[in-house]
A = this chain, B = another copy of it.
């Protein structure tokens, strides 16, 4: 409970310039600073090599190319969606794990997609020129159209490329990212979930830890393993305490540049709402999983996801309600406000963006629930309703000029949408029913029974009844039917499939809620945030890493434990022997059976997991932990509990990255799973 006091003390003592903070873009890596602090920094060649082997996995993960024939090392929890999709009641790959004997046995992950960044170019000037003087209400639309056009110019309809314009520094900078895209990703190896997720939710975000959270997938091109000249090598000896290490991955989202007014909205409104929403869903899924084996199998992925979410959001809120933590954010802003107040040139350029943002918050408070429930969280995870929306909207959007489409239906984005929609992923009826009922009830709760969209959704039926009837009667669980509708807008428009019919009842309301949010909240916020970013650059220079945006970032740090206010000193490594010691015999503290069998073959002193001071966040899962030679010394799979406040600020004293140690990566593959062929491939033998 007292950790933020410790944090405050340390941050004030150690100048920010010395902290290992920042998820840096490859093209703006602070090599000079790293060299000054740590005596070594990567050069251009090192950065290039690492970039070309760093994989982004759709769904929010990272990975590393570890063989010349496209093998990618990532986390188990990054492919659990895939393992679940490939499972059946008779063979649950999550429970049993998976090992392909050879290439022919590798199994396509339905809907999976991987990308590797090839180039970055600055398009800031073009975007700013095009949006200068545009009214707040139109800015989102205007900019969206331009970004779609820029993406299309470079990538066109080429499915092997992926183009995305990325906004850094909250609109301070726009870059075009061009990726090689892989839409054929196959599962080669996954351990049993029990090995990957030993300790379950209780140990999640905790350390000491004993997880073998790894998996191997392979990228294919034209039906053949994709070729890579310079994969990353695995160091069989691993890292030492104090060693300088790097992570290369795709952190998804941080909000370190939010203003105090925005942080207050997060702390007092948005995060508490999310916790309540997710906690109720968590309870539902837990009890659903207790109904029977098949219900449990269907609910498992969603349950782990929501439990992870609850922990994350609670950690974020917990950081923001600590006065010491929040005080740092207030102090940072005060500095900028003072600079503004004392410099008329800055005022002329930026006005008072803090006040602009404060004015937007009331609209955000009144608009966010409608936007969330009708648009962002449609169906609370229901694939059927997501597919229904994709079909209904695609039918409408495809007829529009590029510039007028909703972003995700833009020409360069449709391929990803189609890939997801047409994937042969199984639909889980008992899970769907739960999710749709939950979403209906929560939508009514938040918007009120008298809201027109709610009245339309419910009509004369109860939520459970609507969900049950929909799941029984829909045909959207059939990929062939989805394909037919996808290719035939007219048929979609005429369809009376109950999932499509239900979604259609609120399509207009959902579009309206989104437009209202963009017009009254996102638009004005983006204009003001851009000014805050400009002010930041003007006052602080470019010493600040941009917020995470699910694009490639490099962080640096050293292998080190921390002194925990509750636990006391925590060392940087755990060892195999600790696994046997911590096991109680009951889930989630059971040792996976293959590990029990192999117990005598595992060196008890082999490092299992380790922590380092790298600055990471969700999305970095599966990132390689690299040494100076660019060799993999660990596989990032988590952060410690103090890392959760990292969404809003980095605490060098306590925030730690958790990885599987490289010696155990190889030992586990060889001695526990007999994955000799794959291990040889990774070691270039």
Listed in ascending order, the chain A residues whose CB lies under 8 Å from chain B are: 1-2, 199, 201-203, 268-269, 272, 275-277, 279-288, 290-291, 310, 314, 317, 321, 362, 365-366, 434, 437-438, 441, 444-445, 448-449, 458-462, 464-465, 584-587, 589
Given known pairs A276-B310, A284-B283, A584-B460, the reply for A269 and B321 (CB within 8 Å) is: yes
CA distance A276 to B280 in the complex (A): 8
Query: Within 8 Å CB of A268, what residues of B?
Result: 321
Query: Within 8 Å CB of A438, what residues of B?
Result: 283
User: Do B279 and A449 touch across chains, with their CB atoms under 8 A apart?
Assistant: no
A193: min CB distance to chain B, Å: 15
User: Do A287 and B276 touch across chains, with their CB atoms under 8 A apart?
Assistant: no
CA distance A283 to B275 in the complex (A): 13
CA distance A314 to B465 in the complex (A): 28
Query: Within 8 Å CB of A365, what residues of B?
Result: 1
Given known pairs A268-B321, A272-B317, A449-B589, the reply for A464 and B290 (CB within 8 Å) is: yes
User: Do A587 and B462 touch across chains, with their CB atoms under 8 A apart?
Assistant: yes
Query: Within 8 Å CB of A199, what residues of B?
Result: 449
Query: Given A277-B279, A279-B280, A280-B283, 7 more contacts at CB 8 Å?
Result: A202-B449, A268-B321, A276-B314, A284-B287, A285-B287, A291-B291, A458-B586
Ranked nearest first, the 10 interchain pairs of A and B with the lowest CB-CB distance are: A283-B283, A283-B284, A280-B283, A279-B279, A460-B585, A268-B321, A287-B287, A462-B586, A284-B287, A279-B280
Looking at A1, A275, A283, A458, the one whose CB has the most chain B CB atoms below 10 A away is: A283
Query: Within 8 Å CB of A287, what residues of B?
Result: 283-285, 287-288, 434
User: Do A460 and B586 touch across chains, with their CB atoms under 8 A apart?
Assistant: yes
CA distance A684 to B283 in the complex (A): 50
A284: min CB distance to chain B, Å: 4
A437: min CB distance to chain B, Å: 8
CA distance A272 to B270 in the complex (A): 12
User: Do B276 and A445 touch across chains, with their CB atoms under 8 A apart?
Assistant: no
CA distance A585 to B587 in the complex (A): 44
CA distance A586 to B440 in the complex (A): 13
CA distance A280 to B586 in the complex (A): 23
CA distance A268 to B589 in the complex (A): 32
A293: min CB distance to chain B, Å: 13
27 A-B Cβ contacts within 8 A?
Answer: A1-B365, A2-B366, A199-B449, A202-B444, A202-B445, A202-B448, A203-B449, A269-B321, A272-B275, A272-B317, A275-B275, A276-B276, A276-B310, A279-B279, A280-B283, A282-B283, A283-B285, A283-B286, A283-B287, A283-B438, A284-B284, A284-B286, A287-B434, A290-B437, A459-B586, A460-B584, A462-B587
Query: Within 8 Å CB of A460, what residues of B?
Result: 584-586
Query: Within 8 Å CB of A279, what residues of B?
Result: 275-277, 279-280, 283
User: Do A1 and B584 touch across chains, with their CB atoms under 8 A apart?
Assistant: no
Query: Within 8 Å CB of A280, what residues of B?
Result: 279-280, 282-283, 286
Query: Within 8 Å CB of A461, what residues of B?
Result: 585-586
Query: Within 8 Å CB of A458, what residues of B?
Result: 584, 586
Query: Within 8 Å CB of A449, what residues of B?
Result: 199, 202-203, 589
Query: Within 8 Å CB of A284, what residues of B?
Result: 283-284, 286-287
CA distance A449 to B285 in the complex (A): 22
Query: Within 8 Å CB of A201, what residues of B?
Result: 445
Return the chain B residue nearest A269 by Cβ: B321
A425: min CB distance to chain B, Å: 24
CA distance A585 to B285 in the complex (A): 28
Query: Within 8 Å CB of A203, what residues of B?
Result: 449
User: Do B290 and A2 touch across chains, with their CB atoms under 8 A apart?
Assistant: no
A5: min CB distance to chain B, Å: 9
CA distance A387 to B221 in the complex (A): 65
CA distance A576 to B321 in the complex (A): 47
A195: min CB distance to chain B, Å: 18
Looking at A282, A290, A434, A587, the one whose CB has the most chain B CB atoms below 10 A away is: A290
Query: Within 8 Å CB of A286, what residues of B?
Result: 280, 283-284, 441
CA distance A20 to B359 in the complex (A): 34
Query: Within 8 Å CB of A281, what residues of B?
Result: 283
CA distance A434 to B290 in the complex (A): 9
CA distance A464 to B293 in the complex (A): 14
A579: min CB distance to chain B, Å: 14
CA distance A202 to B441 in the complex (A): 9
A640: min CB distance to chain B, Å: 14
Looking at A268, A276, A362, the one whose CB has the most chain B CB atoms below 10 A away is: A276
CA distance A288 to B448 in the complex (A): 24
Query: Within 8 Å CB of A202, what residues of B?
Result: 444-445, 448-449
A574: min CB distance to chain B, Å: 14
Return the chain B residue nearest A590 by Cβ: B462
Return the chain B residue nearest A583 by Cβ: B460
Looking at A284, A285, A585, the one whose CB has the most chain B CB atoms below 10 A away is: A284
Query: Within 8 Å CB of A277, what residues of B?
Result: 279
CA distance A441 to B314 in the complex (A): 17
Looking at A276, A287, A288, A448, the one whose CB has the most chain B CB atoms below 10 A away is: A287
